[in-house]
Amino acid sequence: MLMMTYHHRTAKLLFFLICVLVIGRYCMTDTNFFILRHSINEDHTQGQKQNEDQYLDLSKIVPMDDTNILKKQLRKLTKKYQSRQLKVNGSLPFQGPYSFMENYKNPCYRVHDKVQCLPYFYLIGVPKAGTSDLFARICHHQDVMPPLKKETQFWPRTRFKGASYNLYLQYFNEASKKIDSLTNITENGMVFHYAITGTATPSDFWDNDLWQYDMYNKHLDEPAVITPHHLYHINPKSKFIIIFRNPAERLYSDYCYRRHTRPTATSKRFHENVTKAIKLYTDCFSKYSIRKCVYDRNLARDAVVWIRLGLYHIYMIHWLKVFPRQQFLLLDYDVYRKDRKRSLGRVYKFLGLRTPNPTQWEQILQGVAKNTNFRRKKKAGPMLEETRLLLNKFYRNSSAEIAKYFGEDKPKWSKI
């Protein structure tokens, strides 16, 4: 009996020690890391509790002058949220409107003793149409302060997985500091902050697959509120740049680039996927609204290839219902490739930036194109002619419609 009591007590002691060790492992802190505790945003206009990252400020963990480490932290957090489970009705309410400071060209406001700036412009599309290269050269302009990361993925994706708006703002913390420090004196003697910042997330233009998780789209069959509505509440004067490409060529480049199709990418397999996708969307259009079909996440998954993305005019119509046409600059990928200086000149003029001098132009235009897809496309082989004919037929009406927004400089591919 005594022996059993002894073993019983020993077992309980061992169990207690194991619990202490396991719990202690997760409670121990290292001098290089912090356990952040979060609070509730009491001033929230909707009076709702914010998620845990509402007050997450990376500057408390990483010195703000160490930009490279800060970029890595943001990249890590973005990946974390992209891999998270979706939150039903977990998106944030409309942000804004803000009272921006008049002596700043860029939309900036003051929070206590800190200046917080939002994007002056958005490069919103389209994927595999030179957005990485274009954005890099825009940011080479002396008056453009780049964000910490080209693509935030906040509006189309991570906000539905728990990422806070405060985390989104941190992509522009460094740019905000630089904008605040760069000034000139106007003719009226006012100190004016002339620099701007922007962002380039091509998914903003077309990706509203998670619309049903938006709190404003409850119990709807198709989305009423999408990305442009949220951006309008933040700043109704935002400017948007979109670079379009021949939709058939864009789709093939995208097919060779995407992780889920790249390993087995061949022109023959591409043709099979395109044939299947055209049938799926044609059937959907015959039964439901185009808006419902192009924002159907399950349909897009079944189609394999992102064929819906080339229906440019559908997305353009949805954006123009929120923002006026004069706040958009449309570019043609083929023209940009042949004459980058001309296209960039249009961009700088649209953004109200100074014309670069010859030395500055040389710096802006030097270097090879960013994020190209030449090797992967070469491995897959050229697109089959029968596939091209199928896609040209599928996209013909949409291409003709998007060409109307270009004015006189209509893309050549819009006439195919």
What is the tens place of the pLDDT at every residue in 132-157?
Answer: 999 999 999 999 999 999 999 999 99
CATH number reported for the structural domain that contains residue 291 in this entry: 3.40.50.300
Which of 27-31, 315-319, 395-399, 402-406 is predicted with the least confidence, judged by mean pLDDT? 27-31
pLDDT of 118 > 50? The answer is yes
Evaluate whether residue 201 is within a structural domain: yes
**Residue 52: inside a domain:** no
- CA 309 to chain CA mean position, Å: 15
Query: What is the percentage of the chain residues whose pLDDT exceeds 70?
Result: 74
pLDDT of residue 341: 97
Q: Which domain holds residue 292?
A: 108-415
Torsion from C-alpha of 377, 380, 381, 387, nearest 10 degrees: -100
Specify if 37 maps to a domain: no
Q: Is residue 274 part of a domain?
A: yes
pLDDT for position 218: 87
Q: How many domains does the chain have?
A: 1
Annotate 316-341 with DSSP letters as a single string.
HHHHHTTS-GGGEEEEEHHHHHH-HH
| Per-residue pLDDT band at 46 (split at 50, 70, 90) | very low
When mean pLDDT is compared across 58-62, 339-343, 383-387, 392-396, the lowest value belongs to 58-62
User: What count of other Cβ atoms lies within 10 Å of the Cβ of residue 58?
Assistant: 18
The predicted-structure confidence for 163-192, as pLDDT tens digits, reads as follows: 889 999 999 999 999 999 999 998 888 999
Please give the C-alpha separations between residue 174 and each of 76, 147, 367, in angstroms, as whole numbers. 18, 7, 25
pLDDT at 92: 74
3-state helix, strand, coil in the chain (%, to 5): 50, 10, 40
Q: What is the pLDDT of residue 258?
A: 78
pLDDT score recorded for residue 44: 32
Say if 397 falls within a structural domain: yes
Rounded to 5 degrees, φ, ψ at 234 are -75, -50
Q: Model confidence over 251-286: pLDDT tens digits?
A: 999 998 876 666 678 999 999 999 999 999 999 999
Looking at the predicted structure, is the pLDDT value of residue 117 above 70? Answer: yes
Q: Does residue 27 lie in a domain region?
A: no
pLDDT, tens digit, for every residue of 385-407? 999 999 999 999 999 999 999 98
User: Which tokens is 338 given?
Assistant: 């042949």
**Which tens digits make up the pLDDT trace of 79-88?**
665 555 665 4
User: Do 168 and 148 contact (CB within 8 A), yes or no?
Assistant: no
The predicted-structure confidence for 368-380, as pLDDT tens digits, reads as follows: 676 565 566 667 7
Phi first, then psi, for residue 382 (nearest 5°) are: -65, 155
Report the first-to-last Cα separation within the chain, whole angstroms. 93
Residues 6+ apart with CB under 8 A from 179: 104, 106, 108, 115, 117, 145, 193, 195, 196, 197
Closest alpha carbon to 195 in 115, 97, 254: 115
What does the pLDDT read at residue 153? 93
Mean pLDDT within 316-338: 97
* CA–CA distance, 321 with 317 (Å, rounded to integer): 6
Is the residue at 2 inside a domain?
A: no
